[in-house]
Every structure is written in C-alpha cells, then in structure tokens.
Amino acid sequence: MKTRREFLRSTVLGASTLWTVPGFIDRTMAGLNDEAQANADTQTKTGRDAPILVILQLAGGNDGLNTVVPHASSNYHRARPDIRVTENQVLKLDDELGLH
C-alpha cells in the first residue's frame, strides 16, 4: 500500500510529465518541419538548374545485357535472337552501347 506522500509524489511527477511532453513534441515537430521545408526549397532550386538522371533498378527479371545493350555487337544479336533489343529500340550512349 502506498503512503500519501508516495501517491502525491507520483501524481505530481505524472502531471509535470503530461504538461511538458506536448510542448516538447510541438517544438520538435516544428523544428523538423522547418528543416524539411528548407531542404525542399534547396532541392527544388537544384532541380531547376540542371537535368536530373533517374535510374531505376528492378529486381527479378532485370537482365544486364538488356538494360545496357551492346547494339553494335553481332555476337549479341546472334546469341539472343528472341529477346534481343534492336538498334532502333535503344537510347544510344555511344556507337556501341545504348539503354533499353
């Protein structure tokens, strides 16, 4: 059984915790929001200044030779007659390689 003193001590401690936690959370969320807004502004300005290259790697059926295609190689076309990517289907990186 708790004494009255222990009960009051735990009640006051609990009440002070309830009083300070919402303010702490509010200040933390406001700080995080300000930081995210500053980063978003910076990213937006950076994105407007220069082109952005986005590369997606899909796990599973991604085949390296059908991602970066050696379109000028006759060996590639002979080895993959059914699944090859033809020269007019690639985005040419140079005279030998292209992206599917």
| pTM of the full structure | 0.39
Query: What average pLDDT does the chain have?
Result: 76
Residue that wins the pLDDT comparison between 74 and 30 = 74
What would the pLDDT profile of 27-69 be if each residue is shown by its tens digit?
777 777 777 777 666 655 555 666 677 887 766 666 777 788 8
**What is the per-residue pLDDT for 17?**
66
pLDDT at 94 over 80: yes
Please give the share of the chain, as a percent, with pLDDT higher than 70: 70
The tokens describing 93, both together, are 């990186």
Burial profile 40-66: b = 16 or more Cβ within 10 angstroms, e = fewer? eeeeeeeeeeeeeeeeeeeeeeeeeee
